[in-house]
Amino acid sequence: MLLLLNLIPTKNASMKIKPLLDYIRKYVDLTQEEEAILTSKVIFRKYLKGQYILQHGDVCKYQCFVISGCTKTFFLDDEGQEHIILFSVEDWWTSDMGSFITQTPADLNVQCIENTELIMFPIETTEELYDKIPKLERFFRKIIERGLVATQKRLIRNFSLSAKDRYLYFKNQYPDIEQRIPQYMLASYLGITKEFLSKIKSQLLLED
Amino acid sequence: MLLLLNLIPTKNASMKIKPLLDYIRKYVDLTQEEEAILTSKVIFRKYLKGQYILQHGDVCKYQCFVISGCTKTFFLDDEGQEHIILFSVEDWWTSDMGSFITQTPADLNVQCIENTELIMFPIETTEELYDKIPKLERFFRKIIERGLVATQKRLIRNFSLSAKDRYLYFKNQYPDIEQRIPQYMLASYLGITKEFLSKIKSQLLLED
DNA sequence: AAAACATGTTAATCTAGTTTAACATTCAGT
DNA sequence: ACTGAATGTTAAACTAGATTAACATGTTTT
């Protein structure tokens, strides 16, 4: 019975793709035909907690939209230290853009820290999709613009805020994410050690 | 005589815009008509050393391509400390993308640290330009993708490299820029104090 | 040529954040 | 219920980089 249901891809796909279409609608208006073309060109996929969507050294073949779950994007420095640069939850994107646009081996790793459902845009169909649906190119331009601004602001925060203020900013900006991830991963994201994050939190508890 | 020459805008413009057209050609191929439309929609402007192209609090109305000269993009933190996030020289871009895309007051300042010649893309004609020349939207998508990757890599470097290694990276990546800017600005860009940069440089001199 | 200002150096003291290591706690697997 | 692995806390010693301040050099302005 379950197997049978899996043989009806369009119905299945049209339900799963809803979060993405809702998201796209905030930026551009697609016709029903355009939505159908889009649906036919993307890939739905589930990963289990711990699985890698992208591994350092592999060429990044997809830009991924997260339907459910949570991923961490990180790299390992020369000492093998893990540095998390992004958590992606529902309605966020993940990939190694550098690897994707140049089709060279990735510096970054993307690993699921929860069971995760994704919609993947394969590199082979991306240009075709832009040609067929110029509005999608506009959409991607806009979200990449926003991505650039967000990254720039993060850079600024790292320059100008103390570790404590970066933690408070994160807590305030993404109140739900803190509950979903281990503290040592948050410490890595904030650019500090887990011990120091622990110290910051106990200091904050004393303050009020 | 000089005045007379200035009355021939097209010829003037067609000479000045060459560096931009050469730059665009690396990403997309424009027809002669498209190049002419582009030329008619952008603004050429010169600034003197010290002048501001954008000031914190103003809404950013332009994305600027640098033909000659050098600008610094910076912000002031709560203590009034200046943090430089970008130097833009020939063939680089500058603006406050966050302010530009949302048309809200800028966090950033852009100031010329040399006499600087720019080509400015005004916000009012940008969408029109994208509609008339979809290849330009592709062009901007591509350069913004590259901008995002560069910013992300800078974030990674700030997390994983020591001040010394960040300095060496800069020196290696932009050997000519170091000669054009005062050390205290480079220190600000690297996220360290000018005194510490001075120490790093004297340490490096001792090393070999 | 002097004054004034911008930039650079050196060195002492200070601090934010790291490292190490010992000990709790939580939670999954048997 | 027991064990081991993953995660979290605390505290001491340590280090990268900041701060302050005194002095040096260079470059505009008058």
Both B23 and B109 in one domain: the answer is yes
- Looking at residue A207, its pLDDT comes to 73
A146 at interface of B, judged by CB pairs closer than 8 A:
yes
The predicted-structure confidence for A101-126, as pLDDT tens digits, reads as follows 999 999 999 999 999 999 999 999 99
The answer to whether residues B149 and B128 belong to one domain is yes
Q: How far apart are CA B74 and CA B111, in angstroms?
A: 8
**A99 lies in a domain?**
yes
| pLDDT above 70 as % of chain B | 93
Q: Does pLDDT of B4 surpass 50?
A: no
Residue at A122 is within a domain: yes
Distance, in Å, from the CA atom of A23 to the CA atom of A90, rounded to the nearest integer, reads 11
Does the structure show a pLDDT above 90 at A7? Answer: no
Q: What's the mean pLDDT in A162-173?
A: 96
Mean pLDDT of B180-198: 96
Reported as a single tens digit per residue, the pLDDT across B96-136 is 999 999 999 999 999 999 999 999 999 999 999 999 999 99
Phi, then psi, of B183 in degrees rounded to 5? -60, -35
Helix (H/G/I), strand (E/B), else coil: A136: helix
Q: Is the CB of A16 under 7 A from strand D?
A: no
pLDDT exceeds cutoff 90 at A156? yes
Give me the mean pLDDT over the B147-163 stretch: 96
Question: Whose C1' is closest to the CA of A195: which nucleotide?
Answer: D9
Q: Are residues B70 and B114 in the same domain?
A: yes
Q: Which pLDDT score is estimated for B13? A: 65
Both B123 and B134 in a single domain?
Answer: yes
| Total tally of structural domains belonging to chain B | 2
- CATH assignment of the domain containing A60: 2.60.120.10
CB count, 10 Å around CB of A78?
8
Confidence of residue A13 (pLDDT cuts 50, 70, 90): low
Same domain, B95 and B129: yes
A104 lies in a domain? yes
Q: Which long-range contacts (C-beta less than 8 Å, at least 24 apart) are formed by B32-38?
A: B34/B133, B34/B135, B34/B136, B37/B129, B37/B132, B37/B133, B38/B129, B38/B133, B38/B136
Q: Spell out which residues of chain A touch residue B156, defining contact as CB-CB under 8 Å.
A: 75, 83, 85, 107
Q: What is the pLDDT of residue A11?
A: 52
How do strand A116-122 and strand A62-68 relate by DSSP bridges?
A: antiparallel
On average, the pLDDT of chain A sits at 92
pLDDT over 50 at A132, yes or no: yes
Q: How confident is the model at residue B2 (pLDDT cuts 50, 70, 90)?
A: very low
Q: Are residues B7 and B78 in the same domain?
A: yes
Q: Is residue A149 part of a domain?
A: yes
The model's pLDDT over B83-101, given as tens digits with 9 standing for 90+, comes to 999 999 999 999 999 999 9
How confident is the model over B179-202, as a mean pLDDT? 96
| pLDDT of B64 | 98
pLDDT the model gives residue B3: 39
Name the A residues in 6-65 with CB < 8 Å from any B CB: none
CA distances from B48 to A14, A108, B45, B69, B111 (A): 57, 42, 10, 9, 10
Choice between B3 and B179, residue whose per-residue pLDDT is larger: B179
Selected residues 126-145 of chain A with any CB under 8 Å from a CB in chain B: 130, 134, 137-138, 140-142, 144-145
Do residue B59 and residue B101 come from a single domain?
A: yes
- Would residue A206 count as lying in a domain? no
Q: Is the dihedral of CA B152, B154, B155, B156 positive or negative?
A: positive
Residue type, A166: R
Predicted confidence at residue A12, as pLDDT, reads: 63
Q: What is the DSSP string of B82-96?
A: EEEEEEE-TT-EES-
Q: Is B76 on the interface with A (CB under 8 A)?
A: no
Domain that holds residue A29: 2-160
Per-residue pLDDT of A26-66, as tens digits, reads: 999 999 999 999 999 999 999 999 999 999 999 999 999 99
Tokens 């803190």 correspond to A178
**pLDDT for the residue numbered A2:** 40
| Per-residue pLDDT at B43 exceeds 60 | yes
How large is the average pLDDT for residues A66-90?
Answer: 95
What confidence score (pLDDT) does residue B196 get? Answer: 97
User: Does the pLDDT value for residue B63 go beyond 90?
Assistant: yes
**Amino acid identity at B48:** L
DSSP string, chain B: -HHHHHT-HHHHHHHHTHHHHHHHHTT-PPPHHHHHHHHHHSEEEEE-TT-EEE-TTSBP-EEEEEEES-EEEEEE-TT--EEEEEEE-TT-EES-HHHHHHT-B-S-EEEESS-EEEEEEEHHHHHHHHHH-HHHHHHHHHHHHHHHHHHHHHHHHHHHS-HHHHHHHHHHH-HHHHHHS-HHHHHHHHTS-HHHHHHHHHHHHHH-
Is A165 inside a domain boundary?
no
Location of structure tokens 């919609």:
A119
User: Do B66 and B84 lie in a common domain?
Assistant: yes
> Do B179 and B144 have their domain in common?
no
Do B135 and B183 share a domain, yes or no?
A: no
Dist CA B165 CA B20 (whole Å)? 33
**Residues B113, B205 within the same domain:** no
Residue A34 lies in a domain: yes
Whether residues B8 and B65 fall in one domain: yes
